Amino acid sequence: MHQPLAQGAALTQPNAEFKYGWSVVLAAAIGVGVGVTGVNTYSLGVFLNPLSETFNWTRTEASASKTFLTLGYVLTAPLIGYLADRIGPRRIGMLSMALLALGMFGMTQMNGSIGFYYLAYFLLALAGCATTPLVWTRGVATWFYQKRGLALGLTLAGSGVAGMLTPMFVGSLISRYGWEAGYMGMGVLAAIGLIPIWFFFYENKQTAAEQLARPQIPQSGFSVPETLRSRRFWQIGLAFLLIGGTVSALVVHLVPLLTDAGIPRETAVAFAGLLGVAVLAGRIITGYLVDRFHPPYVAGAFLIMPALGCLLLATGSLSPAFMFLAAITFGLAAGSEVDLLPYLTARYFGLKSYGKNYGWMFVLFYSGVGVGPLFLGYMFDRFGDYTNALFVVIPILAVGSLAVATLGKAPEFK
Q: What is the CATH number of the domain that holds 23?
A: 1.20.1250.20
Q: Is residue 3 part of a domain?
A: no
Per residue in 352-410, pLDDT (tens digit) is 777 788 888 888 887 887 788 878 878 877 777 777 888 888 899 999 999 989 988 87
Greater model confidence, 18 or 285: 285
pLDDT band, residue 325 (cuts 50/70/90) = confident
- Would you say residue 61 lies in a domain? yes
* pLDDT surpassing 90 at residue 92: yes
Contact, 273 vs 165, CB < 8 A?
Answer: yes
> Considering the entire predicted model, what is its pTM?
0.66
| Nearest CA among 194, 198, 144 for reference residue 22 | 144
Domain extent, residue 76, equals 19-203+217-405
User: Residue 331: is its pLDDT beyond 70?
Assistant: yes
Least confident of 168-177, 192-201, 257-266: 257-266
Number of domains in the chain: 1
pLDDT of residue 196: 93
The 10s digit of each residue's pLDDT in 176-207 is 998 999 999 999 999 999 999 999 998 776 54
Is residue 154 in a domain?
Answer: yes
pLDDT band at 28, cuts 50/70/90? Answer: very high
Whether 100 is covered by a domain: the verdict is yes
- pLDDT at position 414, please? 58
| Assigned domain for 5 exists | no
Q: Are 101 and 191 in contact (CB under 8 A)?
A: yes
Report if residue 51 sits inside a domain. Answer: yes
- Asked whether residue 106 is assigned to any structural domain, the reply reads yes
Residue 299 lies in a domain: yes
